[in-house]
Chains A and B, each alone.
Chain A
Amino acid sequence: MTNPRTDDGDGRTADDRRGDGDERTAPPSSATAATDPLLRIEDLHKSYGAEEVLRGVSLEIDRGDVEVLVGPSGSGKSTLLQCLNCLTEIDSGHIYLGDTEVTASDTDPNEIRQQIGMVFQDINLFAHLTARKNITLGLRKVRGMSAEAARERADAELDRVGLADQADSYPAQLSGGQKQRVGIARALAMDPEVMLFDEPTSALDPELSNEVLTVMDELVDEGMTMVVVTHEMRFARGAASGITFLADGQIVERGPPERLFENPSHERTAQFFENISHDHD
């Protein structure tokens, strides 16, 4: 896990610092009116030692939305995902999943994690288990499913990501793209309400990235609620209902992809997209 690092002293303006304020209200394109957001984050703060990685992040994500988080390295994107999945403890603020407060002291984080699927940058398949058993382990131990039912479910999920023929392969026998697709299948098998993707393709060759992005596109089509940290702007353009630009632990601006790409309100955002497009030439 990379250590979150704060890029500071690079000429941020006071305007940048003001952060999320007015931009938060920008309506995501597919928002279903009059329903509460599925995921609500209020004034989230998180420090690692003396370094404050998240400095008051608030965000609302509706059911069926695909929110893409972008920002320079060290801006707190990954930390935000880990907070959402209770993989790291927050310092202050609130997170709600539907009606449940994730951050409440009497909420069982293991229950929450079942409802929030996570796909990791470094994939993290269980190295000693076959693709199928990577999926059945959670179904058996967490859900208490029978071996037969778990196996059927696992095979269905592998089929969904196009890997039905690799069920008996071990992680070390799979390509990076195949491994990440197993990682997605493993998370999907738990029937999550939300899927979190933490730079799912950044460890992969462009060629292998595509097979993963194809699977993600399919999930978007199925209406899965997703929060995706990625630098894949093609995916962001095509699939995102909203893009959130984070820098230095704060939301600089948020809006629909067309507006953020074509007409960002902040210099910092424009600069970031400029740099990204150069990187990917």
Chain B
Amino acid sequence: MDLTLWLGQSLAALAHRPDGVLAVAETAPALVDPVAGGPFQVGDWEFVTANADYLLGGTVLTVLLTVTSLVLGFLLGFPAGAIEVYGDGVLRTLVRKFGVVLRGTPIIVIMIFTYYVLPIDIPINAIVAVLTAVDTALGPTPFTVPTSVPGPFMAATLALGFRSAAYQSQIFRGALESIDEGQLAAARSIGMSRLEGIRHVVVPQALRRSVPGFQNEFTIVLKDTSIAFAIGLAELLKRSHDLFLQQTTAVLEIILFMSLIYFVLTFVVNRTLDYGSNYFAIPGDSS
């Protein structure tokens, strides 16, 4: 089957759900009669391909959750790293302590906290309001702007996003600290404020140096989206689990197929970031 067609169909299926995009379609998995026998039976692979759309739908959710978590992680983690390097006083102490706590807590514990303890309706309502406003502002479009966010997705984004922020802050802290102080002094010597110097001289170099750390973080977040299984989010692992509960002889086939999807995603993104890193590398710079 054509991968882009799968993806297109899954996205289309997601986009036209009347009850909202992210409430992933609970289309019943297709049933294929298992053929009796050992592992790698033809019938089990047929079961996998027959349910490929169902798994791809979960993959779309996995990718979406990775993106929202990394974006939240970057938006919080980058300033946090900058505060750790350049800030002082109470703010810096708070950021550091918060990071230590987040990094010292298992991700599944954080996720269960955001799902069962946090008043999750508040951020959901805020985002739904924004999405609705965007939808209204755009008017009729060929695609549908999502106007609802399910609780598990929000809880998973917050958990993965905050945890990622705690790690990304360390990536950026290291990168910012690696830029020689003298360059900031030079920027100030030609009349730039400290902030301008940081923005125009230090940050562009620090971002380049944070790519390898960020690649690592991307891979970790993508794989850790599977933890959202624990709060019932229908991402790739949850859907795979649903399938092999239905046809227990196909466990191995489903796990192999799911692993292949995770691998392809991480591989493609890492290669893309490698390419981007080389493209933006400073000519003649060995670091």
Interface residues of A (CB under 8 A from B): 1, 85, 87, 110-111, 113-114, 116-118, 120, 122-128, 137-138, 141-142, 169-173, 183, 186-187, 190
16 additional A-B pairs beyond A118-B186, A169-B284, beta carbons within 8 Å, are A1-B185, A87-B185, A110-B192, A110-B193, A113-B188, A114-B191, A120-B182, A120-B186, A137-B187, A138-B191, A142-B192, A170-B285, A172-B286, A173-B283, A187-B190, A190-B190
Contact A172 B285 (CB under 8 A): yes
Chain A contacts for B190, CB-based, 8 A: 113-114, 117, 137-138, 142, 186-187, 190
Is there an interface contact between A125 and B285, defined as CB atoms closer than 8 Å? no
Q: Is B183 an interface residue (CB 8 A)?
A: yes
Interface bin, chain B: 20 to 34
- Chain B residues engaging chain A, CB cutoff 8 angstroms: 180-183, 185-193, 196, 200-201, 204-205, 208, 282-286
* Cα–Cα distance between A114 and B196 once the two chains are bound (Å): 14
Chain B residues with CB below 8 A from A187, complex form: 189-190
Residues A125 and B186 in contact, CB atoms below 8 Å apart: yes
B185 touches A170 (CB 8 A): no
Known: A110-B193, A138-B190, A186-B190. A1 touches B182 (CB 8 A): yes
Q: Which of B182, B186, B200, B208 meets A141, CB within 8 Å?
A: B200
Closest 10 CB pairs of A and B: A172-B284, A114-B191, A138-B190, A124-B182, A124-B186, A118-B189, A173-B284, A142-B191, A170-B283, A172-B285
In the complex, are the beta carbons of B185 and A128 less than 8 A apart? no
Could you tell me the distance in whole angstroms from the C-beta of B177 to the nearest C-beta in chain A? Answer: 15
In the bound complex, residues from chain A placing their C-beta under 8 Å from that of B182 are 1, 120, 122-124
Given A128-B208, A142-B190; A170-B181 close (CB under 8 Å):
no
CB distance from B123 to the nearest CB of A (A): 37
Contact assessment for B192 and A138 in the assembled complex, using a CB-CB cutoff below 8 Å: yes
Nearest Cβ in chain A — how far from B121, in angstroms? Answer: 44
Query: Is B284 touching A113 in the complex (CB atoms < 8 A)?
Result: no
